[in-house]
Structure 1
Amino acid sequence: MARFIFITGGVVSSLGKGLMAASLAALLQARGYRVRIRKFDPYLNVDPGTMSPYQHGEVYVTDDGAETDLDLGHYERFTGVPSRQSDNVTSGRIYQTIIAKERRGDYLGATVQVIPHVTDAIKQFARNAVDDLDFVLCEIGGTVGDIESLPFMEAIRQLKNDLGRGNAIFVHLTLVPYIAAAGELKTKPTQHSVRDLTALGIQPDVLVCRCEQPLPAAERAKIALFCNVRPEAVIPALDAETIYGVPQQYHAEGLDAEVLRAFDIDPDATAPELRRWVDIEDRLANPEGEVTIGVVGKYTGMKDAYKSLHEALVHGGIANRVKVNIRWLDAELFEGPEKDIAPALEPMHAILVPGGFGERGSEGKIASVKFARERNVPYFGICLGMQMACIEGARNTAGIEKASTTEFGPTDEPVVGLITEWMTEEGLQKREEGGDLGGTMRLGAYDATLAGNSHVATIYGDTAISERHRHRYEVNIHYKEALEKGGLVFSGMSPDGQLPEIVERPDHPWFVGVQFHPELKSKPFDPHPLFASFVQAALKQSRLV
């Protein structure tokens, strides 16, 4: 029977519950346990797919096509366990399901209420498909006291009783702020947070205290006394040099040991195998070179909008044992006929244009592609970045001056257009142009076939790949011949040969555009081959300038 670890947060948001959950899961996994992490999001959106990155950061896409919270990216990167649609649920999805049942008459005329109907739906979600697991970690979004999270708090309170003694525990993450004027760490916010939690019927078994200064034994004892936990179960969580050093840091503070003790499991019976984390931290701390990569995007003011991309570039650095300096460049600043982008891009050892939606900044991205092509600077285009590479190639090497995308409005030369149908294992999928934004995209993992003599086939070491997609528009296959005459080769296609997946320029040191999002599958202990190769190309470029 799977054991459950419910993770809550208090005092303020953004303390790092997702990172703590991922690190704890990695430590349990390092001890030989089978783990899975789930996220409960209290907001009323059905999923984050239609939310602005400025509101919620990136949308993380799973193999089975779910648009989920970015924390699921942390979960995958730390454990290597592929997330799935059943690992993320929102209040919106819960209520949508319940209301649909009510309209069908499934409740047989009963009054539909938060208790038991909403809480039962949450508990059913938590317990779904866990028979093959040792531990299920469930992170509750938001902070204790939020109105939106109350049904989830009640549900996990009930669930601990349903599971029985020894099968569920609560871990609470709080803030212990340092007041510089007083020169003291203050434990009162943590005390109040735990008081609010216990008022909901939840007594934490382990407290994780985020703090900027070491937590003295006296303060740990004080927190333990007022919060009704053992002093050893008060775990300090100081800032780390890198997020990939957090698992080792939590292990040193005894987090995984205390969690096991809370389940009456002897932590000394299984020592964690942490060599992979030691190696990763060593590679990050002792690089043998460095590169600077310019990311020309639309949401550069909000780094969480490109969270997986940032981490994948770091992983590329780990693979090559180099430090990757990322320069976030606003594409809008590169727009205009008189704009000289050379001063901003010349210091870059490589240029990357990431995915995105909408016309804003598009001409700046196209100008960046042209710069990279003409100056022989390594270029990596992802999703929209591939489409911009195709439009740039059409305009400047294929003689199609009016090349554009229907995403930005009507055009005489739709080099990129709305995808309305494609093949899947389930058969032909169709979408309508005016359909709901949350249901018109090509989402999840799809296969692609690579040309055997292509650069990307060499990078992957294979000609059959599977990658995750999230897009509404595709490069128009009817322009393939013209683009290839201009030097932009279609080196990866969907198995039916209808959808372009990868383009590259064989006459360029490193020029690759992909329709999918390879950053979603990269991990520190298993860097994605495209990012490893891209950073390697940037390293070669750095030695030329």
Structure 2
Amino acid sequence: MSKFVFVTGGVVSSLGKGIVAASLGCLLKSRGYSVSIIKLDPYLNVDPGTMSPFQHGEVFVTEDGAETDLDLGHYERFTDTPMSRLNSVTTGSIYQAVINRERRGDYNGTTVQVIPHITAEIRTRINRVAAHTQADVVITEIGGTVGDIESLPFLEAIREFRKDKGRHDIAYVHVTLVPFLAASGEIKTKPTQHSVKELRSIGIQPDVLVCRCDHPITTALKTKLSGFCGVPVDAVISAQDADTIYAVPLALEQEGLTREVTDTLRLEERPGDLAGWETMVHQLRHPGDPVRVALVGKYVSLNDAYLSIVEALQHACLAQDGKLDLHVVCAEQIEQDGAAAHLEGMAAVVTPGGFGNRGIEGKVAAIRWAREEGVPFLGLCLGMQCAVIEWARNIAGLVGATSAELEPAATHPVIHLLPEQEDVVDLGGTMRLGVYPCRLMPNTISHKLYGEDVIYERHRHRYEFNNAYRNLFLESGYRVGGCSPDGRLVELIEYKDHPFFLACQYHPEFRSRPGRAHPLFSGLIRAAQGVPIVDEATTAMLPGS
């Protein structure tokens, strides 16, 4: 039987509930408990797949092809456990399921209401994860803050959970703000008191308080919060700002978060093994020489838009004893100023995915600069497609070459839509999503990096390399590093006359982990450092490939 932990938030958003949930999962797993983590998002979109990265940040894709909140990336990276579409729940998906059921007549004429029907569906989704994963502990993060109208059905649903479970099957962890007022030089507990009061008015008494702060919380303040909030002093956990998110599990462990949660759930007390995690954090804090990497993107005004890519670069630098010196470059600025003005002095260039015309010419110019200057380059999804466009225009001499997505009437659509996608009009969930196999070609850099004949990677795209141009592509110094098992879809391309020039149609960043960097990112950083790209001692392989 699974135990359940519910992570709520109060006072303000962006307190780090996702990192707290992921950290708790990491700590429980270090004690030998299996974990799965759910995100309940209160927006009405069915999923974030059609939402702008400027509003929502990156869309994280699970192995089974779900487009989800970026917090699922944190869950996977911190617990090294793959999540699925079951782990991402939105208000939109809940209402859609209930309304579909009502239209089919499944409710037999009953008036359909938020309580009990919507809240029952929410509980069903949580129980479904427990049944599917058989996890010892299912952690559920509730999006938004206590007091938000849109979050109320989720909060009511987790309150109702007590009807079906025993008292020691559930733990409520409330993440709240304990601000420091510089003008008075005081740390204030009143926001947390009001947040807990609001939560209790709904019928939920928190078992643990995680207090976000930028100054240390004294024992006296913990005692004060304990008295006003009805939480034991030892269950008032200080979560002070950390220099890296990977230090958060260690800080929460030191504060006793895992002990309080396992005591509440009556789980067996086990020693945790965090030696590897401690070594990783030590390396992050004592890195080697900096590696200057340019990330040439379209959504640069929001840090979270390329979160998994940044993390994957960090993992690769960590594995190669380097310090990531990241320079996020706006592709539109390159269109105005030229590539050299923004990329001169960079040790590596990465072009990420995206959609639409904006900034495309800047990406193409950045790729041309990296190719001509011999600077290590890695293209991802749209970044690969831009690399194909750059090849077609500047090496193959195909005037006007572009993607059919950007210019449907293009003379040379070197990237085009698959025939089976031509009649698809909906945007949400209609792309090539999730894990697909890729057969690597022998004697390629890609094959040497992975050390496998067949790999499995996550995709999120609709347009593909146009095979009408494949022979011309191969005759001009490029090669196909990998393709679908039937040979139809090009997945990886390489430029032979270059220190490191790779581009892939999939998203390798989603499978990178701290302590186990992705092979393509490791190869990029090694090339940027001027060391051999692969050797027997450093060949990286993905688990499950």
Query: Normalising to structure 1: TM-score of the pair?
Result: 0.96
Match of 2:171 among 169, 172, 179: 169
1:327 and 1:129 map into 2 onto residues whose CA distance is: 39
Per the alignment, residue 480 of structure 2 pairs with 490
Per the alignment, residue 122 of structure 1 pairs with 122
- Written as runs of structure 1 = structure 2, the 5 A alignment for 1:58-457 is 58-131=58-131, 132-265=134-267, 267=269, 270-335=270-335, 339-409=337-407, 410-421=409-420, 431-457=421-447
The offset of 1:214, in angstroms, is: 0.2
Contact 1:510 1:534 in 2 (8 A): yes
Per the alignment, residue 425 of structure 1 pairs with none
2:477 and 2:400 map into 1 onto residues whose CA distance is: 18
Is residue 526 of structure 1 aligned with residue 528 of structure 2? no
2:177 and 2:263 map into 1 onto residues whose CA distance is: 23
Contact 2:10 2:176 in 1 (8 A): yes
Q: Which amino acid letter does the alignment assign opposite residue 110 of structure 2?
A: A
CA RMSD of superposed structures (Å): 1.2
2:29 counterpart SS class: helix
Contact 1:160 1:169 in 2 (8 A): no
Per the alignment, residue 428 of structure 1 pairs with none
Q: Which amino acid letter does the alignment assign opposite residue 142 of structure 2?
A: I
2:369 and 2:44 map into 1 onto residues whose CA distance is: 43
Contact 1:391 1:403 in 2 (8 A): yes
Contact 2:17 2:175 in 1 (8 A): yes
The offset of 1:129, in angstroms, is: 4.0
Contact 1:35 1:136 in 2 (8 A): yes
1:418 and 1:100 map into 2 onto residues whose CA distance is: 32
1:165 and 1:51 map into 2 onto residues whose CA distance is: 39
The offset of 1:264, in angstroms, is: 3.0
Per the alignment, residue 427 of structure 1 pairs with none
1:266 and 1:441 map into 2 onto residues whose CA distance is: 45
The offset of 1:340, in angstroms, is: 3.2
1:174 and 1:419 map into 2 onto residues whose CA distance is: 48
2:162 and 2:242 map into 1 onto residues whose CA distance is: 32
2:35 and 2:141 map into 1 onto residues whose CA distance is: 13
Contact 1:394 1:486 in 2 (8 A): no
2:530 counterpart SS class: helix
Contact 1:394 1:482 in 2 (8 A): no
2:428 counterpart SS class: helix
1:380 and 1:541 map into 2 onto residues whose CA distance is: 17
Contact 1:455 1:506 in 2 (8 A): no
The offset of 1:433, in angstroms, is: 4.3
Q: Which amino acid letter does the alignment assign opposite residue 468 of structure 1?
A: R
Is residue 8 of structure 1 aligned with residue 12 of structure 2? no
1:391 counterpart SS class: helix
1:487 and 1:179 map into 2 onto residues whose CA distance is: 62
1:305 and 1:368 map into 2 onto residues whose CA distance is: 19
Contact 1:447 1:464 in 2 (8 A): yes
2:38 counterpart SS class: strand
Contact 1:295 1:353 in 2 (8 A): yes
2:308 and 2:352 map into 1 onto residues whose CA distance is: 11
Contact 2:39 2:143 in 1 (8 A): yes
1:333 counterpart SS class: helix
Question: 1:94-129: per-residue Cα shift (whole Å, max 9, x none)?
Answer: 000111111111111110011111011000000014
The offset of 1:291, in angstroms, is: 0.4
1:261 counterpart SS class: helix
1:366 and 1:265 map into 2 onto residues whose CA distance is: 55
2:462 and 2:298 map into 1 onto residues whose CA distance is: 17
Q: Which amino acid letter does the alignment assign opposite residue 436 of structure 2?
A: Y
1:420 and 1:240 map into 2 onto residues whose CA distance is: 50
Contact 1:417 1:473 in 2 (8 A): yes
Match of 2:449 among 449, 459, 465: 459
The offset of 1:434, in angstroms, is: 4.6
Q: Which amino acid letter does the alignment assign opposite residue 377 of structure 1?
A: V
Contact 1:141 1:149 in 2 (8 A): yes
Contact 1:432 1:440 in 2 (8 A): no
The offset of 1:439, in angstroms, is: 3.3
Contact 2:87 2:129 in 1 (8 A): no
Per the alignment, residue 537 of structure 2 pairs with none
Q: Which amino acid letter does the alignment assign opposite residue 114 of structure 2?
A: V
2:460 counterpart SS class: strand
Per the alignment, residue 543 of structure 2 pairs with none
Q: Which amino acid letter does the alignment assign opposite residue 194 of structure 2?
A: H
Contact 1:397 1:487 in 2 (8 A): no
Q: Which amino acid letter does the alignment assign opposite residue 522 of structure 2?
A: A
The offset of 1:407, in angstroms, is: 1.1
Question: 1:324-368: per-residue Cα shift (whole Å, max 9, x none)?
Answer: 1110000001115xx432131111100000000001000010000
The offset of 1:541, in angstroms, is: 8.2
Question: 1:421-453: per-residue Cα shift (whole Å, max 9, x none)?
Answer: 3xxxxxxxxx34451110331000000001011
1:340 and 1:94 map into 2 onto residues whose CA distance is: 48
2:37 and 2:419 map into 1 onto residues whose CA distance is: 34
1:420 and 1:318 map into 2 onto residues whose CA distance is: 42
1:127 counterpart SS class: helix
The offset of 1:266, in angstroms, is: 5.4
The offset of 1:513, in angstroms, is: 0.4
Contact 2:67 2:429 in 1 (8 A): no
2:299 counterpart SS class: coil
Q: 1:401 to 1:541 in 2, by over 3 A?
A: farther
How many residues align? The count is: 529
1:438 counterpart SS class: coil
1:432 and 1:209 map into 2 onto residues whose CA distance is: 51
2:279 and 2:491 map into 1 onto residues whose CA distance is: 34
The offset of 1:398, in angstroms, is: 1.1
2:329 counterpart SS class: strand
Q: Which amino acid letter does the alignment assign opposite residue 395 of structure 1?
A: R
Contact 2:364 2:389 in 1 (8 A): yes
Contact 1:398 1:485 in 2 (8 A): no
2:498 counterpart SS class: coil
The offset of 1:486, in angstroms, is: 1.8
Aligned sequence identity (%): 52
